C-alpha cells in the first residue's frame, strides 16, 4: 500500500529508499470490464495514482455500495461511464498526498466525497473542492452512509418537500438505505411516518425507527394509508418512479407532494436487452416527469409531483451539498441519527457485496472497507 511521502518515516529503511519503494507500491482497485451482471466486476492491482495540481490523493477507508452502482454496471443508469471504469458513488478516507497548489488540507485528515464513480479503490485522486472534512471520532462506515443515502433523504425532506413538524409522510422501500435515512431524519423533523416493506425483518426495522410498517405484498398501500390517516399523507417519497408516481399521488391529501427519485422501474425497463450501450443520458426520463408535473398542476386536488436527483442538485448547488453533509455529521455526532450498516465487506469482495444488494431485502447500507497494509502501518 502506498503512504504519503509528506509524513515522517519511522520505518527501518533509509528515507530516500523508503520513498522510492512507496512510489512503486501498488493498490487494489475494482473495475467494471463490461456492462452486465456481477461477473463484470474485476479486482486489479496497479500503481497508486499521483495527484495532479489542485488534487488530493485520498486513502479510502470506506466506500458505499448502492443501487446506482449496480444500475451503472448494467449500463442503464444516467451516470454510467464508459467501460472499463471503477464504480463507487461515495467514500470516506484520509488525506494521503497533496497535489501542487493545494492548501486547506493536511495529511491524515479525514474527508468525505461523492465522486459518483471511482470509490471502489484503495486510493483515489480528487479535486480539493470535492472534499468535505469529517469530524474525528466517527465510524467510517457510518459516516459514508450519510453521503449518498442521508443527503438524498435530507434534501428531499427539507429542500424538495419542505416538511413541517406534525405532517405525515409515506416512504416506499422504507427498510433500505435511503428509506431508513428518511425514517430517521423524518423522526428528527417531527413527522408521522409510514413505510412500505415486504418482510417481517423489514417491518421490524421500520417499527424500530418509529414508523408504521405497511406490507405492500399483502396490503394495498393507498387503501391502507387512507384507512390509517383518513385524508392521506402530506408527502410520498417514491424511488420506483414511472407510472408508480401517479399511483403514489392517490395516497396524498389535497395540497400534498410526491417526491420521485431513483427511476428504478423506468431505467430497468430499458436495460441491456433494449440495446442501451451504457452512454450517459442525464436527461433520461425527463419527458415522463414533465407529464406528471404538469398533471399535478392542472388536475384538481393540487397534488404535485416533484423530481429529485442528488447529482443534479450537487452540480447546480454544490454549496448545499457541503452544508447538508456538514449538518448530517453534526446529527451523527449528537447521536440524533444512527445509520444502519447492513454488512461490511473487504474491498476485494465488491462482487459479493453487489450480489447481496441486488437480491433485495437488505436493511440499511452495505459498505466496502479498506485496511492498512503492514508496511503502511509501520510507516504511518
- Can you read off the three cell numbers belonging to residue 148? 449518498
pLDDT tens by residue, 184-194 = 999 999 999 99
Position 13 scores a pLDDT of 45
pLDDT at 23: 53
- The pLDDT score that the predictor gives to residue 125 is 98
CA distance 28 to 6: 22
Can you read off the three cell numbers belonging to residue 78? 444516467
Domains, in order of start, for the chain: 15-134+340-379 (3.90.180.10), 147-315 (3.40.50.720)
| Angular region, 241: left φ>0, alpha ψ -120 to 50, beta rest | left
Band of pLDDT at residue 288, cut at 50, 70 and 90: low
Asked whether the predicted pLDDT for residue 223 surpasses 60, the reply is: yes
Nearest to 78, CA basis, from 367, 227, 232, 283: 283
46: left (phi over 0), alpha (psi -120 to 50) or beta: beta
Q: Tell me: pLDDT of 296 over 60.
A: no
Average the pLDDT over 285-296 and give the result: 52
Sequence-ordered list of residues with C-beta below 8 angstroms from that of 147, at least 6 positions apart, any chain:
64, 89, 90, 91, 92, 112, 113, 114, 325
**Residue 218 to residue 337: CA distance in whole angstroms:** 30
Residue 20 has pLDDT above 60, yes or no: no
Chain-centroid distance, C-alpha 311: 10
Select the more confidently predicted residue: 11 or 72.
Answer: 72
**pLDDT tens, 198-213?**
888 889 999 999 999 9
Give the H or E element holding residue 260.
strand 252-260
Question: What does the pLDDT average to over 334-361?
Answer: 96
User: Distances from the Cα of 292 to the Cαs of 60, 224, 242, 302, in angstroms?
Assistant: 40, 23, 9, 12
> pLDDT, tens digit, for every residue of 86-115?
999 999 999 999 999 999 999 999 999 999
The rounded distance, in Å, linking the Cα atoms of 191 and 247 is 22
Could you tell me the pLDDT band of residue 299, with boundaries at 50, 70 and 90? low
Q: Is pLDDT of 157 > 60?
A: yes
Angstrom distance (rounded) from CA 286 to CA 143: 32
| Band of pLDDT at residue 242, cut at 50, 70 and 90 | confident
Amino acid at each position: 500500500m502506498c503512504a504519503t511521502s509528506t509524513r515522517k518515516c519511522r520505518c527501518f529503511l533509509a528515507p530516500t529508499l523508503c520513498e522510492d519503494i512507496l512510489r512503486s507500491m501498488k493498490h487494489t482497485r475494482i473495475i467494471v470490464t463490461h456492462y452486465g451482471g456481477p461477473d463484470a466486476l474485476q479486482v486489479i492491482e496497479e500503481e497508486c495514482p499521483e495527484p495532479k495540481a489542485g488534487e488530493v490523493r485520498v486513502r479510502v477507508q470506506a466506500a458505499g455500495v448502492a443501487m446506482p452502482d449496480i444500475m451503472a454496471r448494467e449500463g442503464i443508469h444516467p451516470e454510467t461511464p464508459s467501460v472499463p471504469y471503477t464504480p463507487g458513488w461515495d467514500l470516506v478516507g484520509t488525506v494521503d498526498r497533496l497535489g501542487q497548489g493545494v492548501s486547506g488540507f493536511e495529511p491524515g485528515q479525514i474527508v468525505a466525497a461523492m465522486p459518483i464513480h471511482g470509490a471502489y479503490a484503495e486510493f483515489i485522486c480528487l479535486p480539493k473542492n470535492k472534499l468535505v472534512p469529517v469530524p474525528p471520532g466517527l465510524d467510517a462506515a457510518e459516516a459514508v452512509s450519510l453521503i449518498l443515502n442521508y443527503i438524498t433523504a435530507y434534501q428531499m425532506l427539507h429542500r424538495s418537500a419542505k416538511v413541517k413538524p406534525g405532517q405525515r409522510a409515506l416512504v416506499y422501500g422504507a427498510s433500505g438505505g435511503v428509506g431508513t435515512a428518511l425514517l430517521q431524519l423524518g423522526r428528527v423533523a417531527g413527522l408521522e411516518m409510514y413505510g412500505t416493506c415486504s418482510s417481517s425483518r423489514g417491518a421490524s426495522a421500520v417499527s424500530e425507527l418509529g414508523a408504521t410498517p405497511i406490507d405492500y405484498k399483502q396490503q394495498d398501500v393507498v387503501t391502507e394509508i387512507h384507512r390509517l390517516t383518513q385524508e392521506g399523507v402530506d408527502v410520498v417519497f417514491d424511488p420506483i418512479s414511472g407510472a408508480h408516481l401517479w399511483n403514489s399521488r392517490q395516497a396524498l391529501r389535497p395540497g400534498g407532494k410526491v417526491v420521485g427519485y431513483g427511476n428504478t422501474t423506468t431505467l430497468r425497463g430499458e436495460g441491456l436487452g433494449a440495446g442501451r450501450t451504457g452512454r450517459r443520458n442525464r436527461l433520461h426520463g425527463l419527458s415522463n416527469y414533465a407529464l406528471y408535473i404538469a398533471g399535478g398542476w392542472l388536475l384538481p386536488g393540487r397534488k404535485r409531483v416533484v423530481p429529485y436527483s442528488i447529482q443534479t442538485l450537487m452540480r447546480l448547488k454544490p454549496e448545499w451539498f457541503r452544508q447538508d453533509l456538514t449538518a448530517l455529521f453534526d446529527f451523527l455526532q449528537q447521536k440524533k441519527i444512527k445509520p444502519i450498516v447492513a454488512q461490511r465487506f473487504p474491498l476485494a469482495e465488491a462482487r459479493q457485496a453487489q450480489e447481496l444488494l441486488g437480491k433485495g431485502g437488505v436493511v440499511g447500507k452495505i459498505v466496502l472497507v479498506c485496511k492498512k497494509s503492514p508496511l503502511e502501518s509501520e510507516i504511518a
